[in-house]
């Protein structure tokens, strides 16, 4: 809500329409963007396609919660590799938009001097919603209430996102799905910032036992941009390494080890 309030009060999202469980704001300045405020948990919102059938993507502005309590700015696509304790469907991934994530992460990283006390990282794909027909990207501020009400962080995040959207969305030269590593995959994060790669779904080591041929194919298919590579954290595959490498080789895609 800190981000939403900044957009409403400082960025001209002022034209208001109220429905049963949501509010919608539009702007004369940012005419291609709608601000939708839901009074339900963001993890369970699966009906946006009918509300906004002509959308290019759904970007969720969210709080981030972590036991570490480290001030963190994150972004990630959504999906469940196994069960669904936090929304979405079992074994279903949302559609990813690698270019959108990459551009936002680079934009927020370029603004890190204004956010020197925050870590800036991507997360592995997790939680819902998973069944929307357009790409999903979560953009989060965390990890405690102190950061959730930080107007400076909210303003920087929103302005970075608006710059990306105003510039227009494109495509990455190369796109990879990622396997291995931790929930905050530092190797993939570095690759995203320092190379031409955009990233689609990311499956961390603790989810690899749920990645079979069908799930791997879903990771590849559910990207709005064509996946060209499979990127593996070679030291972060754990006990699933041999099985995962066998699956990966059967796809015919180029494999990149990091």
Which of 51, 120, 62 lies closest to 87, judged by CA? 62
Torsions phi, psi for 72 (to 5 deg): -145, 140
pLDDT at 146: 97
Q: Which two tokens stand for residue 98?
A: 């690698």
Whether residue 143 has a cis bond before it, omega within 30° of 0: yes
* 151-165 mean pLDDT: 98
Which of 43, 37, 1, 2 lies closest to 19, judged by CA? 37
Dihedral Cα 105, 106, 108, 110, nearest 10 deg: 160
Strand partners, 230: 177, 255
pLDDT single digits (tens) 187-225: 999 999 999 999 999 999 999 999 999 999 999 999 999
Q: Where are the domains of the chain?
A: 2-257
Which of 138, 134, 140, 126 lies closest to 84, judged by CA? 126
Q: Which residue has the higher pLDDT, 154 or 16?
A: 154
Question: What is the C-alpha separation between 96 and 176, in angstroms, rounded?
Answer: 11
Strands (E), 195-251: 197-203, 229-232
CA distances from 251 to 2, 8, 34, 180, 228 (A): 44, 46, 39, 17, 11
Question: What is the C-alpha separation between 251 and 74, in angstroms, rounded?
Answer: 30
Question: What is the C-alpha separation between 126 and 77, in angstroms, rounded?
Answer: 7
Question: How many Cβ atoms are within 10 Å of 230's Cβ, its own excluded?
Answer: 24
pLDDT at 17: 84
Q: What percent of the chain has pLDDT over 90?
A: 96
CATH class for domain 2-257?
alpha beta
pLDDT single digits (tens) 75-117: 999 999 999 999 999 999 999 999 999 999 999 999 999 998 9
């Amino acid at each position: 809500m800190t981000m939403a309030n900044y957009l409403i009060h400082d960025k001209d999202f002022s034209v208001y329409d109220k429905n049963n469980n949501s509010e919608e704001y539009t702007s004369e300045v940012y005419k291609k963007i709608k601000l939708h405020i839901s009074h339900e948990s963001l993890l369970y919102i699966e009906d946006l396609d009918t509300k906004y059938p002509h959308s290019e993507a759904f970007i969720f502005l969210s709080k981030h919660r972590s036991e570490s309590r480290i001030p963190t700015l994150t972004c990630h696509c959504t999906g469940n590799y196994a069960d669904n304790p936090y929304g979405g469907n079992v074994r279903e991934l949302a559609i990813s938009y690698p270019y959108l994530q990459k551009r936002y992460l680079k934009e927020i990283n370029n603004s890190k001097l204004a956010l020197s006390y925050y870590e800036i990282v991507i997360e592995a794909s997790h939680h819902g919603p998973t069944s929307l027909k357009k790409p999903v990207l979560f953009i989060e501020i965390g990890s405690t209430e102190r950061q959730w009400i930080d107007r400076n962080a909210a303003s920087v995040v929103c302005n970075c996102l608006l710059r990306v959207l105003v510039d227009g969305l494109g495509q990455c030269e190369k796109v990879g799905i990622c396997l291995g590593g931790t929930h905050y995959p530092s190797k993939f994060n570095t690759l995203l910032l320092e190379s031409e790669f955009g990233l689609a779904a990311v499956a961390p080591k603790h989810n690899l036992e749920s990645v079979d041929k069908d799930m791997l194919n879903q990771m590849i298919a559910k990207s709005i941009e064509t996946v060209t590579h499979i990127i593996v954290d070679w030291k972060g595959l754990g006990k699933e390494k041999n099985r995962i490498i066998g699956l990966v080789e059967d796809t015919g895609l180029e494999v990149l080890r990091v």
